[in-house]
Amino acid sequence: MSCSLRPVGRGQRAPLERLTAATGLFRPDEVAIAVSLLDDALAGDEDYRFLGAYAGDELVGYACWGPTPGTEGTFDLYWIVVDPAWQGKQVGTHLLRAVEDKLVSENARLIVVETSSRAEYTPTRAFYERRGYAAAARLPGYYAPGDDLVIYLKDLTHGVLATATA
Ligand SMILES: CC(C)(COP(=O)(O)OP(=O)(O)OC[C@H]1O[C@@H](n2cnc3c(N)ncnc32)[C@H](O)[C@@H]1OP(=O)(O)O)[C@@H](O)C(=O)NCCC(=O)NCCS
């Protein structure tokens, strides 16, 4: 069954909270952050943009992104989450491509994704890596002892990473 991509409205607040928690990857305070970013976006804050993936009327995944403060054309992908029952069915790929297409059309340069080095995130890191995201930096012990921050970059202009110096 395929999904369609549409904005995330107020009526999806509870489903968004439920599906984020259902992944089992995020602590309750992290789930609360995703919901509060949706609240900000619904209140008109353009720093946080949401796109939902729907099976019929049911929200089965979403992405949240926004411009990285203090940069020119750099955007953070803050969240991309797919309901566990829908993972592995291309929903995340559709969402990621749609976000990238929107950003390319706005002349964005870079997409930054922060994730964890923990084993539970191995499929997540593979998801990004196979879609052109390069692990550009790693901060050891950032989240917790033994839990590094891994920063991925996707270069939408095919320029900056090619010319970056180590
Ligand atoms: C990472 C995530 C967004 C990918 O979305 P998805 O719809 O499951 O992925 P797709 O079906 O589009 O693509 C499948 C690919 O993702 C990878 N993948 C990552 N997590 C997966 C999962 N739980 N189940 C199946 N595939 C997964 C597969 O290895 C597969 O790789 P390939 O196509 O390159 O061989 C989704 O699995 C998810 O929500 N995971 C938990 C939350 C998370 O880690 N979010 C990112 C940090 S905010």
First to last CA, the chain: 44
Q: What is the pLDDT of residues 106-153, one digit of tens each?
A: 999 999 999 999 999 999 999 999 999 999 999 999 999 999 999 999
- Token couple for 69: 């403060």
Residue nearest to atom 5 of ligand 1 (CA): 92
CA 24 – CA 42 distance, rounded (Å): 25
The minimum-distance atom of ligand 1 relative to the CA of 89 is 11
**pLDDT tens digits, one per residue of 10-45:** 999 999 999 999 999 999 999 999 999 999 999 999
> How far is CA 135 from its chain centroid?
15
Question: Among the atoms of ligand 1, which is closest to the Cα of residue 61?
Answer: 39
